[in-house]
């Protein structure tokens, strides 16, 4: 199969992938936690959004230098060698499907609120059927997968543009600016670390580089404009929610939009449909991205060769199937934990915190890789790139120093598991 045969994704497909991966369950879950910080919780999207845009510029510079294939693990491998590339590729692939679990949990819960409780076995059957459907979509070729990304992004973005305008007549500035006891700087700092979760996946456009028609031109544009749109939607919608829903009501409702619709119209059934679309659309994007990561890692010698199998549609069929299988098994474990012991909110927090920590550690390695290429004079230095590196480094280090030690331990355990698996099955990477 030639490279040109796989290059079927245009700008709008990559743009939709970037948007879909970032616009997920964070939109519904974070406002409840951010409400404790009042107006500063809403404005924190500006800080984390600026950090995300800086990182998108870094990935754009790297993709411009390596346009034929992409993904954080590729850049790290080329900078520091195969072993570090393996750790980055393994971590990125594993965390890709770990971070998908909240999407399945939140989406399924939203659907149950409309149709009634599925029960343990009914929930498992639904989740397996959902994963099988999305897997089938993503092994039918990059062109169809890209079309699916565009459809999902339209279904997600359009309501998030309309809802704030529908709520204007209910908006109350006093509700938005109600004082809090936490100092402004502390509130803004703590909230910004939380909101960064909403931007995880911003680098996704680079993972499908070998499927993009003109990656050197399309990927940087899709990364920047996709991340900018996501930041604007997060900010606009959070300000709208905080200006309409009293803080006391918002803090007791896990779904911020459910509280919003109940406050405006007394019913939240319609918004549960949007929750399903948002979560399942992002899930589709993560399956596509994870399959591509497994394929490129295998082609680079970082994962076993069976991961680089493609089908007649030129899709990374084995990467997508194994990712889906891991997700299905994880869903079974999570459902059992939820049924017998751990609460829903605890599960969500565990997956989110672990995923964000791992992604931040990968982002730090990518920044160091970029600096390495600049020192080797293989990537040209520019004032804008200098600002992006400084901003991204400061944000990532700030996030790491503010993270609980248990989450940092989780960020170490994931690459360590890769070392154990590689040794156990005698993979050639070591």
Dump pLDDT digits (tens) for 2-18: 444 455 678 888 888 88
Q: Which of 99, 196, 138 is nearest to 13 (CA)?
A: 138
Contact 353, 25 (CB under 8 A): no
Contact 285, 152 (CB under 8 A): yes
Q: Which of 135-139, 226-230, 310-314, 320-324 has the highest mean pLDDT?
A: 226-230
Mean pLDDT of 124-153: 79
- The pLDDT of residue 58: 93
- 36 has pLDDT over 90: no
Q: Which of 428, 415, 420 is nearest to 98 (CA)?
A: 415
Q: How confident is the model at residue 235 (pLDDT cuts 50, 70, 90)?
A: very high
The position carrying tokens 């700008």 is 11
Mean pLDDT of the chain: 82
Higher pLDDT, 99 or 342: 99
- 345 has pLDDT over 70: no
Per-residue pLDDT tens digits for 395-427? 888 878 777 777 778 778 888 998 998 888 888
Interior/surface letters 306-316, b for 16+ CB within 10 angstroms, e for the rest = ebbebeebbbb
pTM: predicted TM-score of the whole model, two decimal places: 0.85
Retrieve residue 334's tokens.
Answer: 């999570």
Which range is least confidently modeled, 113-127, 173-187, 329-343? Answer: 329-343
CB neighbour list of residue 45: distance below 8 Å, 6 or more residues apart: 195, 198, 231, 234, 235, 238
Retrieve residue 239's tokens.
Answer: 């300000």
Contact 176, 242 (CB under 8 A): yes
Retrieve residue 360's tokens.
Answer: 């931040």
Task: Please give the domain boundaries of the chain with CATH numbers for all domains.
Answer: 3-424 (1.20.1740.10)
Q: To which H or E segment does residue 423 belong?
A: helix 405-424
Contact 399, 360 (CB under 8 A): yes
- The pLDDT of residue 229: 94
Q: First vs last Cα of the chain: how many Å apart?
A: 28
Mean pLDDT of 192-210: 81
Contact 230, 209 (CB under 8 A): no
Q: How far is CA 80 from the centre of its chain?
A: 25
Mean pLDDT of 78-88: 90
Q: How confident is the model at residue 141 (pLDDT cuts 50, 70, 90)?
A: low
In whole angstroms, give the CA distance from residue 245 to residue 28.
Answer: 14
Per-residue pLDDT tens digits for 253-274? 767 777 787 777 766 677 778 7
Residue 15 CB-density burial (10 A; 0-12 exposed, 13-18 middle, 19+ buried): buried
For the chain, how long is the longest CA-to-CA vector?
64
Residue 304 CB-density burial (10 A; 0-12 exposed, 13-18 middle, 19+ buried): middle
Residue 75 CB-density burial (10 A; 0-12 exposed, 13-18 middle, 19+ buried): buried
What letter does residue 10 receive in the DSSP assignment? -
- The pLDDT of residue 6: 52
Alpha-helical (H) ranges within 139-255 are 142-166, 173-176, 184-195, 204-207, 215-244, 247-250
The C-alpha R_g of the chain, in whole angstroms, comes to 21
């Amino acid at each position: 199969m030639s490279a040109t045969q796989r290059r079927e994704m245009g700008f709008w497909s990559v743009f939709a992938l970037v948007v879909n991966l970032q616009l997920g369950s964070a939109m519904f879950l974070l406002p409840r936690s951010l409400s404790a910080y009042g107006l500063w919780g809403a404005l924190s999207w500006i800080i984390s959004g600026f950090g995300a845009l800086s990182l998108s510029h870094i990935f754009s510079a790297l993709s411009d230098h390596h346009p034929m294939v992409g993904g954080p693990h590729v850049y790290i491998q080329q900078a520091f060698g195969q072993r570090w590339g393996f750790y980055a590729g393994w971590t990125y692939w594993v965390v890709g499907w770990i971070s998908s679990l909240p999407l399945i949990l939140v989406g399924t819960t939203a659907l149950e609120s409309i149709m009634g409780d599925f029960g343990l076995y009914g929930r498992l059957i639904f989740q397996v059927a959902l994963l099988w459907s999305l897997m089938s979509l993503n092994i039918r070729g990059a062109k169809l997968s890209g079309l699916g990304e565009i459809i999902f992004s339209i279904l997600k973005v359009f309501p998030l543009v309309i809802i704030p305008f529908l709520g204007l007549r209910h908006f109350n500035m006093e509700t938005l600016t109600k004082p809090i006891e936490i100092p402004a700087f502390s509130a803004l700092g703590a909230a910004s670390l939380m909101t960064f979760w909403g931007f995880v996946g911003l680098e996704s456009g680079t993972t499908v580089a070998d499927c993009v028609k003109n990656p050197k031109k399309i990927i940087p544009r899709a990364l920047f404009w996709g991340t900018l749109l996501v930041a604007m939607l997060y900010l606009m919608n959070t300000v709208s929610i905080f200006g309409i829903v009293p803080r006391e009501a918002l803090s007791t409702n896990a779904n911020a939009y459910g509280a919003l619709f109940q406050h405006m119209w007394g019913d939240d059934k319609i918004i549960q449909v949007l929750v399903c679309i948002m979560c399942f659309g992002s899930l589709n994007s993560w399956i596509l991205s994870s399959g591509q990561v497994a394929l490129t890692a295998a082609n680079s010698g970082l994962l076993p060769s069976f991961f680089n199998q493609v089908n007649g549609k030129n899709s990374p069929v084995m990467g997508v199937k194994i990712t889906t299988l891991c997700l299905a098994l994880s869903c079974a474990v999570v459902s059992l934990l939820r049924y017998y012991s751990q609460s829903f909110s605890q599960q969500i927090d565990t997956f989110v915190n672990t995923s964000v920590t791992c992604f931040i550690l990968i982002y730090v390695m990518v920044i160091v890789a970029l600096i390495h290429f600049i020192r080797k004079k293989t990537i040209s230095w520019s004032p804008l790139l200098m600002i992006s590196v400084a901003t991204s480094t400061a944000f990532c280090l700030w996030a790491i120093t503010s993270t609980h030690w248990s989450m940092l331990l989780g960020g170490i355990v994931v690459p360590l598991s890769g070392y154990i698996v590689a040794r156990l099955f005698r993979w050639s990477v070591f």
